[in-house]
Every structure is written in structure tokens, then in C-alpha cells.
Structure 1
Amino acid sequence: MNSACCLLFLTACYFISYSNCLAGGTHESIHCIHDEREALLQFKQGIQFDRCGLLSSWQEQASQHHLECCQWEGVHCNNHTGHVTMLALRGVAGDQPCLEGTVSTSLLKLKHLKYLDLSLNDFGGEPVPSFIGSFTNLQHLNLSKAGFSGEIPHQLGNLFNLASLDLSCDFGNSYGCPYADSLKWLSHLTLLRDISLSGIDLSQTSDDWYQVANNLTSLSVLHMERCGLSPSILNSISYMNSSSSFSVIDLSNNNFNDTSIFKWLFNLKGIGSTLVHLDLSDNQIPGPIPHNFGKMLSLSYLDLSSNLLQGPIPSAFWNMRSISYLSLAKNQLEGPIPDTISNLKHLSHLILSGNAFQGRRNFPKSLGSLCNLQDIRFNDNNLDDELSTIIQALSGCVRKSLVSLELSQNRIWGSIPDIISTFSLLDGLILNTNRLNGTISPGIGQLQMLEILDLSYNSLKDTISHNHLSNLSRLSILDLSNNPDLVVHISPDWVPPFQLTSLILESCKLGPSFPKWLVTQTNLSYIGISNAGISDTIPTSFWNSLSPSNLVYLNMSYNMISGVLPNLSVTLLKLPIVDLSSNILSGAIPSFLRNATKLYLNNNRFSDLSPFFCPKQKTSLTFLNLANNLFSGEIPDCWMYFDQLLVLHLENNNFSRKLPASIGALTLLYTLHLRNNSLSGELPKSLQNCTSLVILDLGYNTLTGKIPQTIGHSFENLRVLSLQSNNFVGELPLSLCQLSQLQILDVSINHISGILPKCLYNLTAMTGTEDGLPDLYVDNVYNYYVYSEYARLMWKRKEQRFQRSMGQVIAIDISDNELEGHIPEGISSLTGLIFLNLSRNHLSGNIASKVGQLVSLEFLDLSNNHLSGEIPTTLSEVASLEILDLSNNNLSGKIPVGTQLQSFDSSSYMGNPGLCGLPLPKCSGDQPPANNVQEDDAFSEQNEDDSSDILLGLLISVLLGFIIGFWGVFGTLVIKTAWRLALFKFFDDMKEKLYALMVVIVNIAKVWRT
């Protein structure tokens, strides 16, 4: 990269020097060619905006106050002829382009032009001007990042004298980047030394680019990153005239998914002695790293990160003794790293993160001998070793050069050792997300160059005091978060020597007092001290110390912070995320918090909205959460000032009266939560203007009137509609069926009458289990803030909150209403339904015969209706059913036999007199005939006495048999001595035989085991 920049700089200097040389070092004696001056003025007329004043010196006539055109900014002429030879209008004005407009064809009159630079401007997405191909003297052409689009004109192939070509395009250009279907026109430009086509769409060029690069023997610098280049190389490609002068090749961010790119690279003649910079990162190159890299003796920059390289690194790889920057990150490479890495004496940056190089106690000790090494990144490598062992391995000469050490996301354990104090140049120590479980040496305070200290997400057990921090005058980022046993005990009177930009002490023991030393930190942009055990008030001096121009993120949630927030007259310029939720703050919400872009004040004791609402100008708030507070009275009617809101939570307060009409100004609103208040009256008609709504939750209020007939037309994106426990009347509007993305419908506990719409089968989102509530991802400077929406539902007799599992909850609850008529058959087509509750209505008719198609159903409640007929046999096939209630209807017949329906308690079927079969009593058809029962009873009575006589005789017979048998044998043995001795001898012989048999079995078992 440095070589490319140097080459461009030298090229520019050459042309500037060349032009100045022709001009004798001054422009004063040069007179413009009239036609060329007019051509330049016509070009100026096509420029609508000149934010940098690049063309301010371009005036109609030369005079005492107006310069000749050869003296205009960006214009250089030939001193002898006066012809314009250079037009350098590179536009740099911060984040915006200097020039905006069109490129006039009048430039065709500049026939002697050798240098043209229109880069970093905005030409409105117009095509690259094809007339530029007429500038046959042109040697340098730079149209990069200038807002051009469309196909690159093949007429550029006429620029036979061109040495440098830059058409690169920024990723994400609003006009779209230019493209080329063929690059054969490039093959005519035999003098080209520098090509940059980065961002140009070359996906349709087949293998042109390989052949062109091979044939341009003068080519030294090739930039084709993000071009969509194909992965294959035709076997017919010839390497006879391949370039041997490449110094820079950047083909990163393409589509190479095989090893053909290596085949091309290593077939280039002399590549090993000329190539200095190679970037093949962010492709999909598989397989092992080729041995040929060992022959790249001049290579100083190599980036192979973010590919699919695997296996160990070949030993020859470490022969690249000129290498300075080496990145193999985010591959599938394995270790260990051999000691021969010490051959890379010039190595300054070693980036091996995201692989599997290291196992337990296997850190490459030879790194300690690399005296130029400044940057080591071994993060995310499953490194399992004690930190003191790793630091000891780096205690050679590398400790005098090392600037940044990143070992995050491994399995490193132990303490921060004292030897860390000897790494005197260290400005970044990043050890987050490991298993550090010891203490932090005060020696860390000797790292006077330290700017970043990140020990977050470990299990450190220590007390941090000012002794650890008192010498860190350069410290900018301090992150000790998520170490639950780490105590941060700093005297409130201590004045730190540093000015932090980022402080993260979340989930540490920071309290109980508010850290008053924070008032000295006036440059903070990121503050995270949530869940830190603070039970104190926030001093006004803290708010006054904040820099309104810097603050990006402030999170003090999940503490016990109390008191009232001051109403400061400040403007937070960067529209920060402010999270003060889950505390015990009270009083009024101050007006300055309107300057946030995301504001979370839920779960507090705020009671006054008046300072916050009804501002004099519009706000930029996108997220506002005021749920679970003590607000009462009417919701302020000034939502037109909050028209950027995406998420609004006002639930669980005591708001009353009507919903204000200005709520309709929230046309971008994604979710509206007003649950559990005391809102009354009808829904305002303006609500239908909130066409972006995905979640509408108005449950547990006293709202009246009808559900709007237009609901299906107004809220086409609606996934959750929750209106339960209100006083809505009338029929369900037919337009509900047009909510094809609806996932949860809850209108329970109202006064809805009429029939269930037959078109419910149109709720197609209920036919699957795909999550209809994607997360809202919000980018900011320091992290990717994720907001996950949620919905509440009465689930298994208890109200539950569903968030991450929203895709698993597809529900209809219309219980506790006044519905009549039949259950529509089409409801059986909603095969993704998990929850269906139609209980406590006046529904009649049969249960839909195809109810068995609801294969995902876990909860079914049809109780307390007037349903009749039999339970469909298909219901027994719903294996997922966990809760079933069909009680208090007029159902009849036998409960279908199956393992599922018989597993429910009888209460699931009670109140249906005509039902029978398990778990209820048996049906009459399941018992023996009545006459057989009577005969059996008579027979048993007749034989009852006989059976008792037989039992008595049986007992006497058994007893006599035992006495005769016992004394018949043992009495004889007592009387006959010879018989008794013979019996005892028989048992002795049997005992010896059994013992011998057991010995044989044991010996055989021993042989088998061996």
C-alpha cells in the first residue's frame, strides 16, 4: 500500500514538476489559448456546487485582479505553447465532495492534456465520459470516487500513452459503481504502470483480467479489490510474456474460492524478486498455504486473512525474511507456530487471530527475539495457557518494541504479572473474554504509554485503586466490565492524570457511592457503569462535566440510583444512547434528554413529563422507553415533534383519558406499547397513519368503540395485535384477514360479537414458524447495539413475555367475548398455530374436523361455549398438545382413543354430559351385556359357600402333607446312622467339586482380560 501511494505521489510530482519546468517555474509569462480558456469556463458552468472554492479563481477576463487561465487553481500550461497540459481538480472537503455537477464536452478542446484528475467529486452518477478517449497525449487519468456509473467506455483503450489509470469506486456509492463486460481494451495500453479498478464490477469479464495483467509487461501496481472477480483461470492462458515487474497486487474482497489465484501468481516470471505488497484477504481461498511463498524474498506486506486456508503453515513460509506486515487472521490454520518464526527479523505486525494455532501451554516463545515486532494479535485462537507464561515468553527484546498486545477471546488464566511493567512502549493491552481469575499487578500502572486497557469478561478478583492508574497519563479507553468480583475502589478526591474517552465498568463492584472522580473526565464519549452496585444520587457536577459534543453512549442501568435529574440547558450534539433504566429515579424527566437518539428510562419512579414533552422543535429520538413508572393523567398531545420514533414504550403507568390524535404523526413507528394503563375512549382515526407498525399493544386499558374497519389496510406490516382486556364492541373487521404477516392476534376479554371471519385462513404468517420480529440493529461508534422486541401473551394460564422465542409463538386468543356461530373450517389451515383460545364465547356447531392439521398446536381451549357433536378423531394425532380444555360444552360420543387425549385430566372434558371414554367413565358400548352380568352374579352367590369348604380342605391337606414329608425324610436320617453319614459325605463331595469348578472359571477370566 505504501509503495502504491509513493508511486502515485511521484507521478503527480513528475507532472507538476514537468509543467512547472516548461513554465520556467512561474505562470506569469504564460498566456492562455483563447479556445482552451473558453472550454474551461464552459466546464465551470456545468458545476452546480463548488464547496471548496476550487474554481473561484476561474474568471471570464484576465485583469489586475483576475488571473490568466494558466494561473487558475488546478490548471497548468506549457510555457512555450500556452496549451493546458494538466487539470488537477481533486476534490477534498471533509465528508463532502468539492465539485458537484456534470463534465462538459468542452474539455475536448484541451487536446494537449497530459494529466487529468477529477477524483473525489460528485458527477451525479453520469457515465464515465467516452470523449476522454480522445486525449491521446494523456499520461495520467484519475476519475476515482467521483460519482461516475454505467459501463466503462472502451474508448479509453485509445490512450496509448497512459501510464497511470485510476477508476476506483467507493463501496456503497449511492449511484452504483461503474462496470465493465470486457477488459480487452486495457491490453492496448502497453505503457501502463499503475492500474486501480477497485470497486468496479468486473464479474462479467471472464478471465480477461488475468490475460491483460500478463501482457502488460510494464505493470507494477495492480489494484482490483472488491471487483467480483471470478475464481477460475483458463488453461489456455499463456505466461510467456507475463509481467516480472509487479511490486503491488491487491485482489482482496473478490470471489476466489479455489487455488487458481495462487497458480496465476506463482507463474508470473520473477515475481519472487519484485513483489513487495500482496493482499488476497476476504476471499474464499481454500486448502493449505503453498510452499511457494517461501520464494517471495522481496515481500514485505502479506495479507491472507478471511479465507478458508487450513492446516499447518509450511516450514518454507518462514523464509520470507523481508516480511514486515503479516496477517493470516480468520482462517482455519493450525499450529504450533515453530521457532523458525524468529527468522522474520523485520516483522512488525503479526496478526494470527481467529485460527486454531495454539493449544495448551504452546505459546511461541521465539516471538520474544523479534526486536522489531510492534503489534501481536492472537485473539480468538483457543489459547490455553497462564498469562504469566505468555508474558515471560515475550520478555526478550520484543518487550522494548511491542506497542500493542491483543490476546482476547482465548482461555488464558491466572493473574496480570509484575513483569508487565517492563513493556515500556505498550499502548494497547487487550485481554478481554478470557479466564483470568487472579489479581492485577500494580506494575500495570508503570505503562506510561498505555492508551487502551481492556480486561473485560474475565473473573479477576482484586481491588483496583488509584495506584494501578496514577501514572497512565495517556489512558483513553478503560474497560474492566463483567468481572463480578473486581472491586474498583478509588478515592472520590483523586484527580486522574488521564482524560478518558471510554469508560466501561459494567458488572463490577463500583458502588455504593457514585464515582465522583468521573467529574474530572470531560472528554468521555462512552460511559458504561450499569449493574455496578451504585446506590447513590448522581451529582449535578457530573452532568455539567459531560461534553455535549462528545457523548455517544451513557448507561447507568440496573443500579439503585435515586434522586431527581437536573434540567440542564445543554444540547447533546451526537444524539447519544442514554440508558438510566431499572433505578429508583423520580421527579421530572429533564428536557435535555430529548437530545438523545435512544432513551431508556423504564423501571423507575418518574412522575412528571411536562419538561420533556412539547418542545419547540422536532427531536431526533428513535427509541423512547418510559414503561413502568408513575406517570398519570393524559398522554401529551405533541407527538408531531417526535416523528422519528421507531419504538415507543409507555406501558405499565397510569395514563388516562383518550389517546391523543397527534399519535398519528409517528409514521415511522415500528412498535407501540401502551399496555396496562387507564386509557379510555375510542381509538383516534389518525392512528391509521402509523403504517409502519409491526407491534400494536393496547391491552389492559378501558378503550371503547369498534376495532377500526380499516385495520387490515392501514397496518399491512403488523405482526402482533394485542387489544385484550378492553371494552371494544362490534364485530371483528373482515380486513383483519389482510394482515398476512400477523403472528399474534389477541382480542380476548372484550365485548366482541358476531361470528368469526371465515377468511382467517388468509393469515399466512400463521402457517409456519418463521420469526416475524427481526431485531433492530443500531450502529454506533463503539458497538453494534441490538434491540430485541417482545410481546406478552397469556400462556399456560400465566401472562408471559416472549422475546428471543417470538418465532415459536403463533397465537390466536379471542376468548371472553360474545362470539356466535361456527368455528370456521379454514382455521385448520393455520398449521403454524401454537396457541388457540376461543373459550368463554357463544360458539356453536362442531369442532372443525380437520383440527388435526394444526400439528404445532400446544394449547387449545374451546371451553365454555355451545359446541356439539363428537371430538374429531384427528385431534388425537396432534402430538405436541400440552394443554387441552373442551369443558362446559355440549360435546358427545366417545373421546377418540390415542395416547394424547387420554393423558389429560378429566377436567379437560367435564361439563359435557354426552362424553364418555377415558379419562371419563367408560362408554356403555365398552361394558359386557346386562344379562351376562346377572348370570355371573347368581353363579358367584351359589358357589360362595362351596368355595369356602374347598379352601378349608385344601389348607388341611397341605398341612398333613408337610408333616408326613418332613418326618418321612429327616426322621429316617435321625434313626439310620449309615444313611445320615452317606448324606453328609455326598454334600462334602459336591462342595469340593464346586470349589474346583470356580477356580477354573476364575483362571479363564484372567486369561481373557490379558
Structure 2
Amino acid sequence: MRSTSVILVRFLSIIATLLAISLCNGNTGVPCKDNERRALLMFKQELHDSSNRLSSWVGHGEGDCCTWLGVVCGNLTGHVRELHLGNYYLGGKLNPSLLNLSSLNYLDLSNNDFDGILIPNFFGSLTSLRHLDLSQANFQGIIPHQLGNLSSLRYLDLHGNYFEVNNLQWISGLSMLQHLDLSGVNLSKASDSIQETNMASNSLLEYLDMSDCRLRRIPGGIANMASLRVLNLSRNSINSTIPKWLYSLSHLESLFLSDNGLYGEISTSIGNLTAIVNLDVSHNQLWGEIPNSFENLCKLMFLDLSWNLVSGRASEIFQSLSRCTSSQLESISLSNSISGPIPKSIQNLSLLKILDISNNSMKGDVTEVHFTNLSRLQELFANENSLTLKTCREWLPPFQLHVLFLDSWNLGPELPSWLQRQKYLEQLSISNTGISGTIPIWFWNFSYLGLSFVDLSGNQLYGQVPRIVTAPSAVIDLSSNKFTGSLPLVSATVAVLDLSNSSFSGSIFHFFCDRMDESKQMTSLYLRNNHLTGEIPECWMNWKNLIVINLDNNHLTGNIPSTIGDLIFLQSLQLRNNHLSGEVSLSLQKCRNLIVVDLGENDFVGSIPTWIGKSLSQLMVLVLRSNKLHGDIPRELCRLVKVQILDLANNDLVGAVPTCFSNFKAMTNVSERSYTMSNSFFRLHGTYLDNVILMRKFNPAFGVGRFGVTALDLSLNNISGEIPEELTSLVNLQLLDLSNNLLTGRIPSKMGGMEGLEYLDMSKNQLSGGIPLSMSNLTFLNHFNVAYNNLTGPIPKSTQLQSFDASSFIGTKLCGPPLRENCSTDAEKPGGSRT
């Protein structure tokens, strides 16, 4: 019996091998038809075959096209039935000679590059097609309605192109369709037709993907797709409740509705989806408690309800999820407003691999008992809760984690010793967890542990840090501790290193200049708020991958080294509050990708370099405040059209405010500002705003976490002349400080049009006339000061201006609230002068 089974297995293996060979080269033993061979050669002629994948497509005489790569013929007829041309790096045009392949039922042109051409209309005449895959092939334009003629089509994939659709009526012609992927197709113009389309004819559809399609509503026709197993409508703009009919799709196995505007309470009817395996409704505005009907979802393996307004107690939620004795749950994500302790019933979810309960309001103790049966757990995200881990020092966890995030837990006072036994740990984040003392020697060999991400920030760790050895492209954050001594040497494999807010001291020479034979992978380096001394060395040649350098708030001296110009990828250079001197280094003009330059609060001398405006055209933040710079503000700075924060305060600058500051597009156009901020350094490396000194002028909560802030600070200089009228075109400017200068003339009458202003200070100048009436439109002001000027007349009446203290107007001849001095009846209107 055993020998018979072995022979059968071997026989089936041989058959499978022969079939595989047949599918690869199309050789069936029956030669292809002459007209079909010629058709394929014509098709090849107009293609760009850059990788020469179609080199076997040759021969005008006796060549057998069934042996060509990517061609599959019928076993008995020799007719070409399938073309497998995906991932062939093809381009060019698509010849209609394919119409001569009368038996063609499978066409795959995916993952090629057709350079934005349209789908040819003749595709709608390939009426034998059952499978059409044009995904990721760089087509664009309108999807031809002729595709609706492919009544035999079972599989259609158009995702990853640049398509638009005016209506979807043609889909109703695809009555045999089982798989439809339109993800990424722009369906915004087809919104109404989607509702009207008779999708009842698509009752065989099992897979439907309309993610990233700019949908504003869930298409009602989906209700008729009784066979649907996979539905993906994620990343659209659907602003509605989840329709009740969705819960009647009894065959549904995967439902993806994330990143929409869905709202309303999670319905108990969700328990009707008893076939569901994957459920993702994350990043919406669903609210209420998780219904008990979840206990009916016994096939559920993947559940993501995170980033909604879901509430409730953790005990009830996990009891509901674990009540099904045959629970298949492998992944749970519940980042919401869940409260209470984690129940011990969580151990019943013995198949769990991923558990994300981060960013909740959970409290209480977590012990060994909670993890008793979680031997398959690989990723645990439980950060930002008020939980306490209470395990004995000898505890041997039943799991081997790859990822562990326990930020803001109470783990202290010691680093958990059981971490040493986690053999596969790749990411560890335990910031702000009350750990103190020195770090044990075994922990420092990150490379041996396999760690590529380590965050121990915000603890009470002290002592010296030895040499850091890591896995490739590692991210290490040891900031906000109490480490002392000199900076540690790091292996070339470190990509991001943050040693900020500690007590490292001494020279930085060895850190940068030792082991000069190594080419560093590091992209981001944060050493701010330490006690580092000495000059910045000329050792930047092997640090050419750096994108971010932050040495703020140390005791560094000397000039900016010339070799810093070798850092051609540098986007952010922050050297604020040191004792650096000399002129601003000419070498910086080589760093043409700079977005942030902060040299404030140093001892730099000379004039503002004109090359900043010419060479650093990508700058969004330029801070030169509190130095010893002199001379005029160069007009070349007006070329910085992307600048959002320009701070030249507290220098010895003279001359007039350049009228060409009106070129700052990010301060004049809100869409320009939003675009540059959201697609730049700021989202990649965190907000810079918290570190800019001028942000302290705002309301304390202003700069935290905000993108797109715009600010212009020229205060504490010797700038003279009038405030240029052109400055009022900066309608999206939020901070404007011109105080402590020698400005004369009137306040521009259109300044009230700068409706984005939240901070405005023109105090301690020589301004005359009155406050323009238009300034009553400044409804967002939280700081306003025109004190110590030659201003006259009544203060315009507005909610904002009257809300400020009288000190904002002291030292002037203004009258009216909030000043005690009443305006005389013969006083002129605001903006004029008093007699």
C-alpha cells in the first residue's frame, strides 16, 4: 500500500513538472497557427522591449509561437490562448493585431511601462477574454466603455494606473465578472452613475476593490452582489454611516473601510457577518461600545477598529472577543478610548500574533497570567497607557516577540531582565517607563540582540554609554536621560541617533573623527541640549548620508567647518545657542537641499550672505536671530519663495524692509504652505517648530504639533523707513514682529487684510497716524502691541483689539477702550490723526 502511494505521488509530481514546463514556454506539441504567429510578430514590432524578454519571438517561416516565452497555446488546437507578459519591462504601443488571436482568453500586461497611453478601444473586441490584467502598467486617461463588451470576462485588474471614469454603466455588461480591481482609479466624476448603475448583473462578483477612488458614497449597487467575498473601499471620502444592507452580505470574508469619513455607532448587526475573516474600519469616526455580537464572528482572524471614537471597558471587549471557543483571532488593533484594566481572559486568544492596544486609557496591573497562553504573540503595541507590568525577575515569557512598544507604562526601576531572552526582537520602545540606574552590559550589543529600533528616551538612566553596535539601518533614541561622559562611538550601521537632553560633555572630535575608514549610514543626528564643547571638526567626509544635524544648546566654539559642504543630502542644520563665530560659512551653499537652517543665538559676524537666496532655494526655515550680523537685508532673500519662517531678529541690520518679501508664496497662499509642509522634512523628522526660539512668542500651545506655521521676525534691529504696503499681501502670515526698530510713517491701511495673523508686534518704533479701521478684521490675534509709537486717534472697535491689556497701547496718543482716555468728539476716524 505504501509503495503504491509513493508511485502515485511520483507520477503526480512528474505530471506537475510537465505542466509547469508547458506553461512557461507554451510548448504543447501542436504548432501555432501561421496567422497567429504573424499577429504576435506585428504586436512585438511596436513594443519597446528594453529587457529583451521577447527575444524568443522570432521566425517568419516555420517558427512555432507556442514555444515563445509568455505564450500559452491550446493543447489540441495550437491556438494562442494566453499571453503572460507581466513584469516584462515593456513599453510602446499596443497593436490591434491581437484581434487575430481568436481564442485569446488570458492577457496580462501588468507591471510594465506604457508611458501614459490610453487603453486601446480594440480591447473591447477581444470577446474571448476571461482574464485581463493591466495593473501597474502606467496607462492613463478615460477607461473605454468598450470593455463592457467583454461578457466572458471573469477577472479585471486596472489598479495602479492614472485612470478617470465618467460613468460605470459599462460594468453592467460584465455579467460573468468575479474579480474587479479599480483601486486608485478616479471615480469622483462617476459618483452619481455608480448609484444608478445596475449592478445586479454582477451577482457573480466575489472580489471588488475600489480603494483610493475618491468615492463620496458607498455604491448602493453593491447590495446586489450576493457572492461578494472581498470588499475594499478604504481611503476614500465616504462621509456617511455604514449602510444596513452591508451586514446582509453573508459570504463576505474581507471588509476594508479604513480611512474614510464614516460615522455613527457600530451596529449590533455586524454579528451577521459570520463568514468574516478580515475586518478593518480603522481611521474613521465610529463611536460607541463594541457590541457583544462580535462573539458571533468565530472565523475572524484580523480585526482593526483603531483610531475611531470607540469606547468601553477592556474587560468587556476582550471577553466578547474570546467568548467564541473556536476563536481564530491572530491580529487585534484597538487604539481608541478604551478604559479599565486588561482582563486575564485575554489569555484565551491563544492564536494571537499581533496585539495593538496603544493610545488608550487603560489602567491597572499586567502580570504573567495575562500572557499564559499567548505563545504565538510576535508584535505587542501597548504604548501610551497607564499600565504597570508586574512580573518576577525569573519570568520566562511564553512568546518570542519581534516588536514591543510599552511606552508610558510603569516598568521600573530596572530594565526588564526577560528582554535578554527575546531572541528575535527587532523593535523595542520603552520610553517614559520609570526605568532608572545603569543599563546592563548585555543590552548594549544591539547587533547581537538583532535590534534595529530602540527607544529608551524619557527615563532616569545614567552612567556612560559604551560603543553602540547595531543591525543595519538602526534607529537609536536614548534622549532625555542622565547619561554623562563623552559621546559614545557608534558603528557605521546606525541610521538615526538621538542623544539629546542629557549630560554628555567634552569634545565632539572623537565622535566624528575616529574610525575614519568607515563610511557612515547615518541620516539623522540629534545631540542638542548637552554640555559639549570645543570646535566642530573638519571630519564630515564620511558622514555624507546625513539629512539632519542638530547640535543646538551646547557650548561649541569656532567656525562652521568647510567640509560640511560635502553633505549634499543635508536638509536640516540646527546649531542654535552655541558660541560659534566668524562669518556664515560659504561651504553651506553646496548643500542645496537644505530646508531648515538655524544658526540663531551665536556670535556670527558680517552681513547676511546673498548666496543664501541664490543657492538654498528649498529653504522653509531660516533663523539667524541673536548674532552680530550687520548691513542691509539682501534682496536676494526674496528668492526663498518656499520660506515659512524667517527670523532675523536681534542683530544690527539697517536699511528698509524689502518690498519683495511679497514673493514668499508660502506666506501668501495657504495651499502652497500646506503642500510644502506636509510633503517635506517636517513630517519625516517631526515638527521643527518646538525648537524655534520665536515660537515662544505664541500662545504656549500654539507651536505644538502644528504644521504650516508662518512667521516673519525682524525685531530688535535698526531697520528704518516705512512698513511697505507690499507686506500686507502676506495674508497667511501668522507671526509678524517688527518691534524695536526705527520704522516711520503710517501703518499700512490694508494690514487688516492679513487675517491669518495671530501675533503682531510693532511696538517701540516711530510710527505715526492711527490704527487702520481694517485691523478690526484681525479676529485670530492672541498678541498685539503697538506701544511706544507716535500713533494717534481712536482704537478701532473689535472683539480682539479691546481684549488686550492697556500696556499694548502705552506710550502713544491713542484713545478709547481698552485705554482709560476717552476720545474727544472732534477726534478723527481711526487711521487719521488727532488735532
Q: Would you call these one fold, judging by a TM-score over 0.5?
A: yes
| AA aligned opposite 1:579 | D
> Do 2:784 and 2:804's aligned partners in 1 also have CA atoms closer than 8 Å?
no
Shift of 1:647: 2.6
User: Tell me, which stretches of 5 or more residues in structure 2 are unaligned?
Assistant: 1-14, 72-77, 828-835
Deviations 1:623-676 (A, max 9, x none): 221111122111122334334433321111111111111222334433321111
Q: Is residue 198 of structure 2 the alignment partner of residue 264 of structure 1?
A: yes
1:143 corresponds, among 92, 109, 112, to: 109
Counterpart AA for 1:596 = V
CA deviation profile, 1:516-537 (whole Å, cap 9, x unmatched): 3322223222110101111122
Shift of the alpha carbon at 1:871? 3.2
- Structure 2 CA distance, aligned partners of 1:345 and 1:826? 65
Cα distance, 1:281 vs structure 2: 5.6
Q: Could you say what secondary structure the match of 1:641 adopts?
A: coil
What's 1:177 paired with?
A: 139
Pick one of 572, 595, 604 that aligns with 2:471: 572
Pick one of 326, 348, 361 that aligns with 1:400.
326
Q: 2:182 aligns with which of 225, 228, 233?
A: 225
Kindly provide the CA deviation profile for residues 378-408 of structure 1, in whole angstroms up to 9, marking residues without a partner as x. Answer: 5567555545445555666x32243347372
CA contact (8 A) 2:92 2:114 kept: yes
Larger Rg: 1
Check if 1:83 corresponds to 2:64: yes
Q: Tell me, in whole angstroms, the C-alpha distance in 1 between the residues paired with 2:370 and 2:230.
A: 38
Query: Secondary structure, in 3 states, of the residue corresponding to 2:785?
Result: strand
Secondary structure of the structure 2 residue equivalent to 1:663 = helix
What is the alpha-carbon distance in structure 1 between the residues aligned to residue 597 and residue 820 of structure 2?
42
| Count of residue pairs the alignment pairs up | 776
Q: Which residue does the alignment assign to 1:649?
A: 550
Give the aligned partner of residue 458 of structure 2: 558
- Offset from partner CA, 1:132-185 (integer Å, 9 cap, x none): 55555655433222334433445666767x544433222xx6xx3366663537
Partner Cα separation in structure 2 for residue 313 and residue 857 of structure 1: 43
Secondary structure of 1:688's counterpart equals helix
Structure-2 change in CA distance of 1:806 and 1:792 (3 Å): farther
Q: Are the equivalent residues in 1 in contact too, given 2:408–2:432 (CA < 8 A)? A: yes
Contact residue 27 and residue 67 of structure 2 kept, 8 A? no
**Alpha-carbon distance between aligned partners in 1 of 2:823 and 2:656, rounded to the nearest angstrom:** 34
Summarize the alignment of residues 924-1003 of structure 1 with structure 2, pairs less than 5 Å apart: none
Matches within 5 A, 1:186-585: 187=149, 194-199=155-160, 203=164, 209-210=170-171, 213=174, 219-226=176-183, 228=185, 257-258=191-192, 260=194, 263-267=197-201, 271=203, 274-279=204-209, 284=215, 286=217, 293=224, 296=226, 300-301=229-230, 308=238, 318=248, 322=251, 324-325=253-254, 331-332=262-263, 336-338=267-269, 348-349=277-278, 359=288, 362-364=291-293, 368=295, 372=299, 374=301, 384-390=311-317, 393=320, 398-404=324-330, 406=332, 408-409=334-335, 412-423=338-349, 426-428=350-352, 451-469=353-371, 472-491=374-393, 493-544=394-445, 546-547=447-448, 551-568=451-468, 570=469, 572-573=471-472, 575-585=473-483
User: Counterparts in 2 of 1:126-137, with a 5 A limit?
Assistant: 126-128=92-94, 132-133=98-99, 135=101
Aligned partner (choices 484, 488, 504) of residue 586 of structure 1 = 484
| Gap change, CA 1:833 and 1:416, over 3 Å in 2 | closer
% identical equivalent positions:
28
Pairing of 1:680-829 with structure 2 (within 5 A): 680-763=581-664, 765-767=666-668, 771=673, 774-775=677-678, 787-790=686-689, 791-793=692-694, 802-805=703-706, 807=708, 809-817=710-718, 819-820=719-720, 824=724, 826-827=726-727
Shift of 1:731: 2.5
Indicate how the Cα distance of structure 1 residues 387 and 604 shifts in structure 2: closer, same or farther if over 3 A, else same.
closer
Q: 1:666 aligns with which of 567, 575, 579?
A: 567
SS at match of 1:541: helix
Q: Hey, what's the Cα distance between the residues in 1 that align with 2:231 and 2:209? A: 6
Gaps of 5+ in 1: 1-8, 59-68, 76-80, 91-110, 232-254, 429-450, 928-1010
Deviations along 1:708-728, one digit per CA (max 9) or x if unpaired, are: 123322233333332222222
Looking at structure 2, the residues matched to 812 and 456 of structure 1 have their Cα atoms a distance apart, in angstroms, of: 40
| Separation in 2, partners of 1:21, 1:719 | 61
The secondary structure found in structure 2 opposite 1:735 is helix
The 8 Å contact of residues 578 and 602 in structure 2, kept in 1 or not, is answered as yes
Deviates more, 1:788-797 or 1:661-670: 788-797
Q: CA deviation at 1:88?
A: 4.0
Using a 3 Å threshold, how does the CA distance of structure 1 residues 310 and 631 change in structure 2: closer, same or farther?
A: closer
Q: Distance in 2 between matches of 1:670 and 1:360?
A: 45
In the alignment, the residues of structure 2 paired with residue 925 and residue 378 of structure 1 have an alpha-carbon distance, to the nearest angstrom, of 65
Structure 2 CA distance for partners of 1:373 and 1:454, relative to 1, 3 Å = closer
2:222 and 2:666 map into 1 onto residues whose CA distance is: 54
Cα distance between partner residues in 2 of 1:353 and 1:696: 38
CA distance in structure 1 between the partners assigned to 2:822 and 2:222 by the alignment: 81
Aligned with 1:680: secondary structure? strand
Mapped partners of 1:468, 1:86: distance in 2: 60
**TM-score scaled to structure 1, two decimals?**
0.65
RMSD of aligned Cα (Å): 5.0
> Any idea what the Cα deviations from partners look like across 1:956-996, whole Å, max 9, x if unmatched?
xxxxxxxxxxxxxxxxxxxxxxxxxxxxxxxxxxxxxxxxx
3-state SS of the aligned residue for 1:210? helix
Q: Could you tell me the TM-score, scaled by structure 2's length?
A: 0.77
Q: State how far apart, in whole Å, the 2-side matches of 1:279 and 1:259 are.
A: 17
Q: In 2 relative to 1, CA 752–516 (structure 1 residues): closer, same or farther, beyond 3 Å?
A: same
Q: Which has the higher contact order (CA 8 A, sep 6+)?
A: 2
Change (3 A) 1:511 1:650: same
Specify the alignment match of 2:772 in structure 1: 874
Aligned to 1:728, the other structure's residue is in SS state strand
Moved more, 274-283 or 519-528: 274-283
Does the residue aligned with 1:209 lie in a helix, a strand or coil?
helix
Going from structure 1 to structure 2, the CA distance change for 1:204 and 1:711 (only over 3 Å counts) comes to same
1:940 corresponds to: none
Q: What is the distance in 1 between the residues matched to 2:343 and 2:824?
A: 83
Alignment-mate amino acid for residue 746 of structure 1? D
Taking structure 1 as reference, are residues 88 and 196 closer, same or farther at Cα in structure 2, changes over 3 Å only? farther
Conserved? CA contact 1:479–1:503, under 8 Å = yes
Secondary structure in structure 2 of the residue aligned to 1:487:
strand
Per the alignment, residue 16 of structure 1 pairs with 22
Kindly state the Cα deviation for residue 557 of structure 1 after the two structures are TM-superposed. Answer: 0.8
**Structure 1 residues 858 and 777, CA, compared in 2 at 3 Å: closer, same or farther?**
closer
1:995 counterpart residue number? none
Distance 2:360 2:325 in 1: 24
Kept in 2, the 8 Å contact 1:501–1:523? The answer is yes
Kindly provide the CA deviation profile for residues 25-62 of structure 1, in whole angstroms up to 9, marking residues without a partner as x.
xx9xx9xxxx99xx99x99x997768xxx99xx9xxxx
Distance of 1:421 and 1:901 partners within structure 2 = 61
Which amino acid is the alignment partner of residue 677 of structure 2? P
